[in-house]
Amino acid sequence: MLKSLAIITIGRTGAEVVAAHLASNPALAILPGQNFCGGGDALYRPAPLESKSPEEVFDYLISHCYGRVTNLAWLGLTKWMSKEDFEDYLRQGHRKLFLDTYRGGTSFLEAANHFASTYFRSRGESLEKFSYYGHFSNNFPICLAAEDFSGDNTIFLDCYADPSLWIALISESLTWDPVSALNFWIVNRLCFEKLQRSYPNSFRKVNVRDFFETPDVALAKLEEDLNLHSCKKNIRINPIGFPVINEARLNSLLESSMQIDQILRGSEIYELALSLEVWADEFLKEDILLEKYIKYWRSTTHIAFDISSFIHDQIINKAKTLHKYDKKENFSFDFYHKKIKLNSRNFLNPTHSHSHCLGILEDELIIPCLPYYLRCCILYLKAVLDSYNYDPWTYSDLRKNRLYKKLISESYSVAFIRFGIYDLLEDLESEINIANEAYNNTHASKRKLRDNNYE
């Protein structure tokens, strides 16, 4: 019997890379884009579609989200489609076929599966030739009813990104506080783990890191798990509407992941996340808090990874009682996460307690090429300039500073441009110019010997 495949994710986990690889297998019909995450209603929440008309259901499932600045789709079926593919899609009559065959009164998952199947049928594809049809979609574990996982018609692919890789991935899009975001990662992973223990036959766990490091091996293993024949490269297809896999980007993310691991290693929240599978069984013996969290999530609308609620804190505090923590000192962690308060809400006006130049200690600082860490470094350098304003006799040209020289090097300046924050470097240059002009006369080498003291 033809089964559906739901590729599920917690935010940005690299699941789109897994989906693109799978879609290259001609035995799989994977819906392009990132779908079913919400439109007019709150994003990443349950969609009560049972009582809606077929037109309303289709409009919900086809909904897209667009960037406020770029106006490009970042969510929806056509997210990665070319203009030609988009225009071709509009001619295929997907909406009409969906409305003609949708029987109504179905669950969210059933409606999503019907949307996917009619997409391929509208393109003239016979589903009988496929082993699976599926979609890369919503965070189903906290949106679907438990009975949706008990059937045998849908396999859920849990695209798992370990903590440091997940932080690297989410940090590409926005400035998130990594430490607070780990609370979100832990709580959501517990929701996933709970369901996988309850419905083991409905889930397959996929390590996204494997698809970054050894994609051919990872894909062959997953295809075997799905009882698919692993096809040769010359048989694979180029699926429509999927992202082009950029190896340079993936390697950059792996490097950032390694650096983030070095920064967070030894901190309590990170060690708690790394050891989740060790203490999860004990935690899940009583899951009242998780049930409360799911109800809480469904009653809210925010989508920020670094917003920690009271229920998050309760879950994390309980988890800490099950985990033995040995504190370790880490200069980079203290620099970023004890001295600076920077998150997705205050990134334009962050706070900090840096007060002076750290000298040779700057050489020990690990700096991933990601917005959060680049913003923190700029904030620190501006704090050094502020210290000169407070005490001009400590002034030194910031362009001689170790950290400044690193940030203006090609590898880092390219990152400032890539993430649209090059203006931070430009603002820093302007402030350095002002400081240099203001304090030029405070240095003895710049002054003539005068008899001011005797006037």
| pTM of the complete model | 0.91
Residues 232 and 431: their CA atoms lie apart, in Å, by: 57
In a domain, 58, yes or no: yes
Does residue 68 share a domain with residue 208?
Answer: yes
In a domain, 274, yes or no: no
pLDDT for 5-51, tens place per residue?
999 888 788 999 999 999 999 899 999 999 988 755 688 888 888 88
Q: pLDDT tier at 262 (50, 70, 90 boundaries)?
A: very high
Buried b (16+ CB within 10 A) or exposed e, 346-370: ebeebebebeebbeeebeebbbbbb
Look up residue 307 and give its amino acid. I
Mean pLDDT over residues 115-121, rounded? 94
In a domain, 358, yes or no: yes
pLDDT for 179-222, tens place per residue?
999 999 999 999 999 999 999 999 999 999 999 999 999 999 99
For 212, other C-beta atoms within 10 Å of its C-beta total 22
In a domain, 299, yes or no: no
Task: Count how many domains the chain has.
Answer: 2
Q: Does 455 score more than 90 pLDDT?
A: no
In a domain, 251, yes or no: no
Q: pLDDT tier at 330 (50, 70, 90 boundaries)?
A: very high
Start-to-end C-alpha separation, the chain? 101
> Are the C-beta atoms of 165 and 10 separated by less than 8 Å?
no
Residues 136 and 208: their CA atoms lie apart, in Å, by: 14
Q: pLDDT tier at 454 (50, 70, 90 boundaries)?
A: very low
Residues 359 and 355: their CA atoms lie apart, in Å, by: 12
Look up residue 202 and give its DSSP letter.
G
Does residue 356 share a domain with residue 219?
Answer: no
Q: Closest Cα to residue 81, out of 123, 131, 125?
A: 123
Q: pLDDT tier at 121 (50, 70, 90 boundaries)?
A: very high
pLDDT at 232: 67
In a domain, 262, yes or no: no
Query: Residue 52 corresponds to which tokens in the numbers above?
Result: 């809606």
Does residue 15 share a domain with residue 125?
Answer: yes
Contacts of 206 (CB under 8 A, 6+ apart): 18, 157, 158, 159, 160, 218, 222
Mean pLDDT over residues 152-170, rounded? 94
Does residue 367 share a domain with residue 220?
Answer: no
Does residue 357 share a domain with residue 217?
Answer: no
User: Range of 358's domain?
Assistant: 331-444
In a domain, 195, yes or no: no
* Helix (H), strand (E), coil (C) string for 347-387: CCCCEECCCCCCHHHHHHCCCCCCHHHHHHHHHHHHHHHHH
pLDDT for 363-418, tens place per residue?
999 999 999 999 999 999 999 999 988 887 788 889 999 999 999 999 999 999 99
